[in-house]
Structure 1
């Protein structure tokens, strides 16, 4: 911003004022970013939120410093109040306290503490000791060990710095930061006493093993995994590990907490990095002849009470990885007799890949009509699974394996997310569209209705996602979870209800159809389709009948993440200092950081414009604009804008400031209705104070203020609860000319304010402004225009500000397009309008 000091006496005040305005702008910008996290349901890593808040707090602190520089003593106890609210917020966002003390390795002789070993390890040891169910022998390297290694290697500052720079909307940023984080962890030094403890537990397991060749599976058991959030398939497991490779496998599993998909899952779940410390479970390898998954409730028909046993030959990696279609046994509620047996029509064959980092084993190829599981085995699995469900008291997602001696091992048991059957009842009230579907009879793995554009999964698993993508693929590896936020639905030719990706889709309410044979052939890339995830069909085009009847806004739970954001904003955004003329408008009345911003800015404007002395004597540099429009504006001349001296007021005709007069030409146009105040409640403001939200004829504290010169304008215009800041240079050198506009606030609710911002954005972009929007804050800039062209743009901007002054109170989203059309039909008239 360009400011011209009229004399050397006030130069220091001008400089401090410029700094304060800069800090004020940054404060509002960063406050809007923080608000958007909550109101627009934007997930961010807590390290990034802490970084954003620190920059915001620094800007608020800078305003206090600048105010003190302008007039010592004016801030009063403002710094003390700032420190109090900053302390509360810093404490709220602080990571959990860590206690880096033993035990670092936990044997499974007794049930383990889930706070140290994670839910996966706890659940298995609880079953082992509570129900005496056979689980693989093993031990757990505690989450405390991971925290200790991070501290020992002094990685926390680097981890936080990388996470703070993570842009979830940029795939390259995610991949680069993920790789950097994983490299840091994989290269951690393990202290000798931790190494000795881990190898001692391994040796104890090996001594109990009759086989001369002893290997283990190294599996994640992170805190928060297998609890409210499954983290299904997001972390690595390493299989077939011997003693020499154990420590490297441990670090590999730890590093997987920073894989792209795991990072995205954790952040979208609202869990901080520190809260998701990695415990690691080490278990004796089971040579599974048959493996599979049990759902003790049908996840897409929970009310039926069905229990589903899914089985594949060999290891179950292809099943949970979405690469195989299983044999399925369905048991009715309370029954141990299968009511339905389905043999897979095709199965995965070849070699199982390293399971998310694990070393696999050859997969057996079977006939398309032979079952991998005998009925009596399925009955035994169903009986054990019902006991497990009863033990934990909630439906279970259970992984199991049967070895060559027909021993059943439970490999994992976690809560099963089941979907609300009321959605099915609602779906049945919507008539089937009278349209021939492109695809039918797909199996429903996650319910929902979605509309979008088909995209096929590219070789190697990469996709170029856009919003509302309908992904069509042959199989569904868990790594696809990284794209969940942009996927409207997924249609898979293979896969199963039991895959890890299916679990994640149900958690994030993304429609998923599996066993959709021929999908890649009939659903051509680039085709617009509607997926009916209640009937297992895909229709061509947009089917409004389905979308209107079934596609409801997803209700986001009041998560711990959102509660923490809300608590943070409670100390930041509420504005209590509404009336600058009130005796309560003082530093001692500040109850939020927003109050401190408002107080600092108001007092700075009063100092800058000399309001304290204006009432008693005329100012040669500061005058009130005389006009018929109900808007009070005080002008500060910084060099040549006033033709005459000695008067307290000035008319537009007497003002020599080309940018201000161009803007005023639009504001004062007859088509701008300054008398229509709509249906408006100013939350306690009296009619004497505000007329429809426009300050007029009352106190100078409610007025708008402009710094002017012949070619310069800096305007702080207030319309009740919203404000517009305009900074413009309009001189003879075109390349130096610019106009910068900031618009924020309003008297409506958040949605109303955002709707008006969208309207402003569309119009300003058509006027060739570069526009950036964050929540209810808009920044627009245009530059390098010749003076005549820029003055024409200023007139159009003035007209826009006048026409939109209270629209946040009444405008609906469907009103935007007609308003834009009418606006551009009207602005031609402004060229013929004379200056007031």
Structure 2
């Protein structure tokens, strides 16, 4: 939405002639245009941070970079308006922009040897091995039987990406991802896989992998390979990012590696990674290779299994474990009570009771070791010995990364300065990009009003309006926006307002209501004519802007409303946004929202209708100012809206 109608009214002729002043006017116009773009980007990032939308981290990095460029351009326009006054502003911008980059940029992974290593060494190389290998090593260290193998570490994946220069191409695809809809992600998945498959394994790395495969395959020559994806520094793998292939001839290991690691680019895997808050570059794939053994049977055990089966009364409390065989589905249910009992089994049973109880016992030991239910792979060899082949938490939800987006919002979207606190409203007090945007807007308006106060053409200068309520406005009267009673006065009252849209807004904004105090006082500036109003209102850290025409000629009539919050917890800000939307939408406004930025439009209605809606906006703005927060309970917004609307009469 563009709030540029003001420039149709506030033209060059408003100011004394001169090239310098016209240059300032042009700079201010560009500053306002850039402000809209900055607010849009900030609100997009807020949407992601509040959990209202999902986007790949590459998209957040791109948005942050774009925001940095636009804020810089905005500050350059402010410097154009007054080079001396704002000569140091870029020093503060550079500092904040550095913190933003540090908060959102995920560094490229460090790559180092060893690239392959024995499975039992995985605890020493946990970041390289990934969670699946590290878990098996820990189980073996605890004395449980584990199928040995080798690990083709995550650094081989990282090496492959770097050697083939794939990072930029993959990030360029991922930065377009602003949804976790699986249909949308199918196209992303296909595009990334096409890029990845163009890469070739460096010869030295291929040789090392092949040697590891040949040594691991021993006599049979075949392998079972399993791939998982674990975010750097985390102890749990990403859900939906697991692949197991068997049998694999040892000599085909490089080709199979390239095929297996593609599991991290499936639509489901991308969705899971995004929802947990990780970047692609910090989520490498690692592979475990294990020899194919002659086995009697194989399968999985879920140590805690949800079932529709009717369990004995005592087992309904503790639940049951379930064993499946690769050759069939879940066939065995085992009690989780201290005394193991087989609750259900096929007839005849392919597994002996001893094997079933041994598998169940090992599963419970693994669960106890990791303090969470597990899904363990198992085999029984020809001597009927049970061996664990894999394990992971089940259900596998992963570990959500929440601190990074919080830190990013701190430097991007938090508002720390307020024009009402003159001691804080300084560039050196700015701590975020939003601080700089609000500072540039406020000071840009100040500069323009200062020009008008110096004898604007055909104007009586800027006026200051003070009301009984803690509301004060600087007003620029363009053409017949004030009664003649205001002539020659610097300080005016609401009774001096003639502008039709301003009077309608004031009807709601200036109405008597409880809750006003110095902390929620409203300050702002307005540009008025008889039928036009552009007003900016600031209360605490909230910003409200209204641009409206209220004319007998309905073709020009419109209301453009914008609200941007700056205070409160994410939940309080979401509640406030929802409150405003629920007030405006039934009135016929077209409303868009991102983060806690709301933009609403209404057009081409009669004078009476426009005035009524402006009064509603005035009431809403005052209500928001005097009710911080709107409600502590998000579920009670409907009640608050009903009370508010009924109070309007």
TM-score bracket, normalised by the shorter chain, equals: 0.7 to 0.9
Q: Distance in 1 between matches of 2:237 and 2:460?
A: 70
Are 1:603 and 2:459 an aligned pair? no
Would the alpha carbon gap of residues 578 and 383 (structure 1) be closer, same or farther in structure 2, given more than 3 Å must change? closer
1:693 to 514, 517, 520: 520
Query: Could you say which residue in structure 2 is the equivalent of 1:754?
Result: 574
Give, in angstroms, the shift of residue 308 of structure 1: 6.3
Contact 2:301 2:363 in 1 (8 A): yes
Give 1:801-812 correspondences, 5 Å limit. Answer: 801-809=621-629, 811=631
Q: Distance in 1 between matches of 2:515 and 2:608?
A: 33
Are 1:82 and 2:87 an aligned pair? no
* Stretch moving more, 157-166 or 605-614: 605-614
Give, in angstroms, the shift of residue 295 of structure 1: 5.3
Query: Could you say which residue in structure 2 is the equivalent of 1:262?
Result: 269
Compute the TM-score of the two structures, normalised by the length of structure 2.
Answer: 0.83
2:546 to 690, 709, 726: 726
Structure 2: 5+ residue stretches without partners: 308-312
Q: Distance in 2 between matches of 1:407 and 1:739?
A: 77
1:172 to 164, 167, 183: 183
Contact 2:55 2:180 in 1 (8 A): no
Structure 1: 5+ residue stretches without partners: 319-323, 344-367, 417-501, 509-558, 681-689, 696-702, 830-836
Contact 2:465 2:472 in 1 (8 A): yes
Are 1:339 and 2:166 an aligned pair? no
Would the alpha carbon gap of residues 728 and 386 (structure 1) be closer, same or farther in structure 2, given more than 3 Å must change? closer
Give, in angstroms, the shift of residue 371 of structure 1: 2.1
Query: Could you say which residue in structure 2 is the equivalent of 1:219?
Result: 226
Are 1:193 and 2:31 an aligned pair? no
Give SS of 1:238's match. strand
Are 1:375 and 2:353 an aligned pair? yes
Are 1:673 and 2:515 an aligned pair? no
Would the alpha carbon gap of residues 408 and 804 (structure 1) be closer, same or farther in structure 2, given more than 3 Å must change? closer
2:64 to 53, 57, 82: 53
Q: Distance in 2 between matches of 1:815 and 1:406?
A: 61
Compute the TM-score of the two structures, normalised by the length of structure 1.
Answer: 0.66
Query: Could you say which residue in structure 2 is the equivalent of 1:181?
Result: 192
Query: Could you say which residue in structure 1 is the equivalent of 2:310?
Result: none
Are 1:709 and 2:536 an aligned pair? no
Contact 1:75 1:600 in 2 (8 A): no
Question: In the TM superposition, what whole-angstrom CA distance separates every residue of 1:677-698 from its partner, at most 9, and x where no partner exists?
Answer: 26x6xxxxxxxxx2x6224xxx
Give, in angstroms, the shift of residue 69 of structure 1: 1.4
Give SS of 1:106's match. strand
Q: Distance in 2 between matches of 1:813 and 1:309?
A: 39
Give, in angstroms, the shift of residue 732 of structure 1: 7.2
Query: Could you say which residue in structure 1 is the equivalent of 2:395?
Result: 503
* Stretch moving more, 118-127 or 76-85: 118-127
Would the alpha carbon gap of residues 602 and 134 (structure 1) be closer, same or farther in structure 2, given more than 3 Å must change? closer
2:391 to 413, 438, 443: 413
Q: Pairwise CA RMSD of aligned residues?
A: 3.9
Structure with larger RCO (C-alpha < 8 A, sep 6+): 2
Aligned length: 627
Give, in angstroms, the shift of residue 146 of structure 1: 1.0
Give SS of 2:79's match. helix
Q: Distance in 1 between matches of 2:234 and 2:540?
A: 48
Are 1:115 and 2:7 an aligned pair? no
Give, in angstroms, the shift of residue 66 of structure 1: 1.8
Q: Distance in 1 between matches of 2:303 and 2:265?
A: 31
Give SS of 1:217's match. strand
* Stretch moving more, 593-602 or 622-631: 622-631
Give, in angstroms, the shift of residue 761 of structure 1: 0.6
* Stretch moving more, 565-574 or 153-162: 565-574
Q: Distance in 1 between matches of 2:95 and 2:166?
A: 30
Query: Could you say which residue in structure 2 is the equivalent of 1:242?
Result: 249
1:634 to 467, 474, 482: 474
Q: Distance in 2 between matches of 1:293 and 1:121?
A: 17
1:571 to 406, 411, 416: 411
Give 1:118-133 correspondences, 5 Å limit. Answer: 118-125=130-137, 131=143, 133=145
Contact 2:415 2:541 in 1 (8 A): no
Question: In the TM superposition, what whole-angstrom CA distance separates every residue of 1:86-109 from its partner, at most 9, and x where no partner exists?
Answer: 212312322234233443333558
Give, in angstroms, the shift of residue 673 of structure 1: 1.8
Are 1:274 and 2:101 an aligned pair? no
Q: Distance in 1 between matches of 2:620 and 2:414?
A: 28
Give, in angstroms, the shift of residue 728 of structure 1: 2.6
Are 1:400 and 2:378 an aligned pair? yes
Give SS of 1:190's match. coil
Query: Could you say which residue in structure 2 is the equivalent of 1:476?
Result: none
Q: Distance in 2 between matches of 1:246 and 1:229?
A: 26
Are 1:620 and 2:627 an aligned pair? no
Query: Could you say which residue in structure 2 is the equivalent of 1:92?
Result: 103
Query: Could you say which residue in structure 2 is the equivalent of 1:582?
Result: 422
Give SS of 2:195's match. helix
Query: Could you say which residue in structure 1 is the equivalent of 2:331?
Result: 326
Would the alpha carbon gap of residues 625 and 573 (structure 1) be closer, same or farther in structure 2, given more than 3 Å must change? same
Q: Distance in 2 between matches of 1:91 and 1:587?
A: 21
Would the alpha carbon gap of residues 285 and 825 (structure 1) be closer, same or farther in structure 2, given more than 3 Å must change? same
Q: Distance in 1 between matches of 2:571 and 2:363?
A: 48
Give, in angstroms, the shift of residue 560 of structure 1: 6.7
Would the alpha carbon gap of residues 16 and 593 (structure 1) be closer, same or farther in structure 2, given more than 3 Å must change? same
Are 1:311 and 2:153 an aligned pair? no
Would the alpha carbon gap of residues 88 and 225 (structure 1) be closer, same or farther in structure 2, given more than 3 Å must change? closer
Give SS of 1:311's match. strand
Q: Distance in 2 between matches of 1:814 and 1:132?
A: 50
Q: Distance in 1 between matches of 2:336 and 2:573?
A: 53
Q: Distance in 2 between matches of 1:159 and 1:329?
A: 46
Would the alpha carbon gap of residues 753 and 250 (structure 1) be closer, same or farther in structure 2, given more than 3 Å must change? closer
Query: Could you say which residue in structure 2 is the equivalent of 1:556?
Result: none
Are 1:63 and 2:41 an aligned pair? no
Give SS of 1:766's match. helix
Question: In the TM superposition, what whole-angstrom CA distance separates every residue of 1:457-496 from its partner, at most 9, and x where no partner exists?
Answer: xxxxxxxxxxxxxxxxxxxxxxxxxxxxxxxxxxxxxxxx
Would the alpha carbon gap of residues 36 and 11 (structure 1) be closer, same or farther in structure 2, given more than 3 Å must change? same
Kindly indicate which of the two structures has a greater share of residues assigned to helix: 2
Give 1:407-806 correspondences, 5 Å limit. Answer: 407-414=385-392, 416=393, 503-504=395-396, 507=397, 561-578=401-418, 580=420, 582-583=422-423, 585-610=425-450, 620-625=460-465, 630-638=470-478, 641=481, 646-649=488-491, 657-668=499-510, 672-674=511-513, 676-677=514-515, 690=518, 693-695=520-522, 703-730=523-550, 737-745=557-565, 750-785=570-605, 789-806=609-626
